[in-house]
């Protein structure tokens, strides 16, 4: 996160004064798997204000699938002092409401490669972390009910080949054989991607969090970010408030805003505008 303002220090509380060194430990058992171990952040106490100041290389704000994935991958890349904070519990944001559909073929190369990587991760993450992500590799269908849409599917088949995705153009009857609930009226054709699927989004976030913990990250729930500290146009850390109301500081080289639809609120704490507009969404479950 880059801040647009040039100097914005100690927004919400006093830091500084004389410091005494101490170590803060988080409980490894906080929802983590058996392989999780205690993570520590270096901590000091600001003598005058008796205010705790901790130090992490990176603070990730938000314990949805985005934040837990970032913490997992930072820890996997060898970042040992990563702290993830969520104002409530893990997956209490939009991740909890997600349908969990995973379609790999996207409109850009980067997104498609990320989705393909995601699919390979979902296949192994349960065994790695001991937390089931409920990955179901059931395949996906995209239907064409107009000539233009059919041409688009044909283009998608060519695009998929460039990634090595096993996407096939199939006849309407073949699509119906795979998904008997669909009506054939007006359907000109379909594409079938057998390696797409769905999973449990909350399970995925919990598995990523367990994996991050096992690799040394610290995860704190019921810890709200109430301020982002900025000095000379760079973030230097965050002000946090625990459930009990106690406020403290985590100083960090990197602050990651993974607060989902609340990201603009966090951005405003550092005078950064984040153009996200939440929109209503529907989905239908069938048995």
Ligand X SMILES: Cc1cc2nc3c(=O)[nH]c(=O)nc-3n(C[C@H](O)[C@H](O)[C@H](O)COP(=O)(O)OP(=O)(O)OC[C@H]3O[C@@H](n4cnc5c(N)ncnc54)[C@H](O)[C@@H]3O)c2cc1C
Identity of the residue, 14 or 97, whose beta carbon is nearer to ligand X in the bound complex: 97
Residue 264 CB, nearest distance to ligand X (Å)? 10
Residue 277 CB, nearest distance to ligand X (Å)? 13
Q: Which residues bind ligand X (CB under 6 A)?
A: 61-67, 85-88, 92-95, 97-101, 224-225, 258-262, 266, 281, 283
Interatomic CA distance for residues 20 and 16, integer angstroms: 11
Interatomic CA distance for residues 85 and 266, integer angstroms: 13
Interatomic CA distance for residues 119 and 103, integer angstroms: 9
Identity of the residue, 39 or 60, whose beta carbon is nearer to ligand X in the bound complex: 60
Identity of the residue, 210 or 225, whose beta carbon is nearer to ligand X in the bound complex: 225
Identity of the residue, 85 or 207, whose beta carbon is nearer to ligand X in the bound complex: 85
Identity of the residue, 28 or 85, whose beta carbon is nearer to ligand X in the bound complex: 85
Identity of the residue, 189 or 218, whose beta carbon is nearer to ligand X in the bound complex: 218
Residue 118 CB, nearest distance to ligand X (Å)? 9
Residue 140 CB, nearest distance to ligand X (Å)? 11
Interatomic CA distance for residues 51 and 247, integer angstroms: 8
Angle at 60 between CA 59 and CA 65, to 5 degrees: 160
């Amino acid at each position: 996160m880059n801040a647009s303002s040039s100097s914005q220090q100690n927004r919400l509380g006093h830091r500084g004064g004389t410091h005494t060194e101490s170590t803060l430990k988080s409980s490894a058992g906080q929802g983590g798997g058996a392989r999780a171990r205690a993570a520590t952040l270096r901590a000091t106490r600001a003598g005058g204000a008796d205010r705790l100041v901790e130090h992490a290389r990176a603070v990730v704000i938000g314990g949805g699938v985005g934040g837990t994935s970032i913490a997992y991958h930072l820890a996997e890349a060898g970042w040992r002092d990563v702290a993830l904070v969520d104002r409530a519990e893990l997956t209490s944001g939009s991740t909890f409401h997600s349908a969990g559909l995973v379609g790999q073929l996207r409109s850009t190369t980067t997104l498609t490669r990320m989705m393909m990587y995601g699919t390979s991760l979902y296949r192994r993450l349960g065994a790695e972390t001991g937390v089931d992500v409920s990955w179901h590799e059931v395949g996906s269908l995209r239907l064409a009910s107009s000539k233009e849409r059919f041409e688009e599917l044909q283009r998608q088949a060519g695009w998929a080949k460039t990634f090595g995705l096993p996407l096939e153009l199939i006849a309407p009857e073949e699509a119906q054989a795979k998904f008997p609930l669909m009506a054939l009226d007006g359907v000109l054709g379909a594409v079938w991607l057998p390696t797409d699927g769905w999973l449990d989004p909350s399970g995925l976030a919990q598995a990523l969090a367990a994996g991050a913990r096992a690799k040394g990250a610290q995860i704190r729930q019921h810890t709200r970010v109430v301020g982002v500290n900025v000095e000379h146009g760079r973030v230097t850390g965050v002000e946090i408030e625990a459930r009990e109301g106690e406020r403290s500081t985590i100083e960090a080289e990197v602050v990651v805003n993974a607060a989902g639809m609340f990201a603009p609120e966090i951005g405003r704490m550092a005078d950064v505008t984040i153009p996200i507009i939440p929109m209503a969404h529907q989905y239908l479950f069938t048995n």
